[in-house]
Amino acid sequence: MAPSIVRQLSNICQLLCCSFFSLFPRLLVTFLTTWGFYSLVGISVTAYSCVPRFLFIATAGIFYVLSTVAYFQTVRVGGGSPIDLPGFHIRASDPIDAQLPPNVDLNVTAKENGKMRFCNKCQCWKPDRTHHCSTCHRCILRMDHHCPWFATCIGYRNHKFFLLFLIYVTGLCFVCFLASSYAVYDCLYRPKSFIIVPLNWVALFIVSAVMGLAVGVFASYSVYLSLCNKTVLENLETIRYKTSLPTEAFRYREAPSSKSLGNIFDLGWRENLRQVMGERYWQWPLPLTFRERGGSASSRDGTSFPINREIYEMAQNLASTENELLQQQYNYRHNQRMQMRGESPQPGSQYRNNNSSFQGPTQYQRSPDQSSDDFYDDDLGYYNNPKQVESIPLTRGL
């Protein structure tokens, strides 16, 4: 068989597998919610009188419709990727000028050299809170996690719909559990005309209890993270804010990070929820996209986020302390060497680092003529002749 035919067959198989793995969970979730609502209607009509019947069907109907819309909105909208934004995706044919990182309001999780992070797999710039998904094979803005039940990533654009789906499905499960548990109990323990409990009722009782518990716990966890303005990934790992010194050179234990300073994106629960759910309260329960988000362009497209000024100032103070410590260490060693040579220390020759502010995080780089041995002090574990090369504004990636 010709190699081209084998390659084509392999591609078709891969495509079919991908389609199956993305279609199956979507069909399963749709089937479960539809079956749950259908069974509840059956139970309500058979086992309940007029008023509770209406209440059960109306409440479950609202939860069913809203959860279904939220589910398909989550899948349709997707998490959002910087690849789709102008200026973030780099092509080999682009001129050098176009390959610079784009302007964003703020970039607090840049690399240690101050540049915006870059994804080599997608060939795109990675703004704050963006991560590469190995399942979707693309970078996702404000990535929360990859959810196999949706066969897509949860990110900046569909996080609201994801949260709403979890909340509404928990509500649907609760109503189904309430209706089925009482109906099953009524069948078993009260002598009536019918003795056999319908299998559908028992199945609904078990499935709604298990699913309600599992989804409810995850919904509570997701709401809690949203109140703290954290994603699942950010809750699992420490975010390093742009450090003022290379960590391998200066082992300062309190380097600015979410572990030592707290979450720099936390603006209080009300503002945190507003960032996910929408500007106005009446928009929060609706699984619809509203295009009136305030702020600048980069804060609207998920490439930058407002920060907590208190934590920002703490990071500034920490960077300033680091710089002072480094200056004192340099001065001490410089004086020691002068004394060993029998020379008197010259105040003018002392190392000065005037930029001790976090606004322009001090960047220390090895100059081309320096060997690694005379730059790094193995005994003390820090650079013995730090050279301030450039001060990179925090507001720019480069």
* 353-382: contacts with Zn ion (CB under 5 A): none
Q: Which is nearer to Zn ion, 136 or 232 (CB)?
A: 136
Q: Which is nearer to Zn ion, 153 or 173 (CB)?
A: 153
Q: Which is nearer to Zn ion, 118 or 182 (CB)?
A: 118
Least distance between Zn ion and beta carbon 133 (Å): 3
Give the 3-state DSSP-derived string for the chain, with helices as H, strands as E and coil as C.
Answer: CCHHHHHHHHHHHHHHHHHHHHHHHHHHHHHHHHHHHHHHHHHHHHHCCHHHHHHHHHHHHHHHHHHHHHHHHHHHHCCCCHHHCCCCECCCCCCHHHHCCCCCCCCCCCCCCCCCEEECCCCEEECCCCEEECCCCEEECCCCEEECCCCEEECCCCHHHHHHHHHHHHHHHHHHHHHHHHHHHHHHHCCCCCCCCCHHHHHHHHHHHHHHHHHHHHHHHHHHHHHCCCCHHHHHCCCECCCCCCCCCCCCCCCCEHHHHCCCCCCCHHHHHHHHHCCCHHHCCCCCCCCCCCCCHHHHCCCCCCCCHHHHHHHHHHHHHHHHHHHHHHHHHHHHHHHHCCCCCCHHHCCCCCCCCCCCCEEECCCCCCCHHHHEECCCCEECCCCEEEECCCCCCC
Q: Which of 117, 129, 132, 240 binds Zn ion (CB under 5 A)?
A: 132
Least distance between Zn ion and beta carbon 345 (Å): 52
116 binds Zn ion (CB under 5 A): no
121 binds Zn ion (CB under 5 A): yes
Catalytic: which of 124, 133, 139, 147?
147
Applying CB under 5 A, the span of 43-51, 138-146, 222-230, 370-378 interacting with Zn ion comes to 138-146
Q: Which of 108, 122, 166, 255 binds Zn ion (CB under 5 A)?
A: 122
75 binds Zn ion (CB under 5 A): no
84 binds Zn ion (CB under 5 A): no
Whether residue 18 lies in the annotated active site = no
* 149-188: contacts with Zn ion (CB under 5 A): 153
Number of residues engaging Zn ion in binding (CB under 5 A): 10
Least distance between Zn ion and beta carbon 379 (Å): 41
119 binds Zn ion (CB under 5 A): yes
233 binds Zn ion (CB under 5 A): no
Which residues are annotated as catalytic?
Answer: 147
Contacts to Zn ion by CB under 5 A = 119, 121-122, 132-133, 135-136, 139, 146, 153
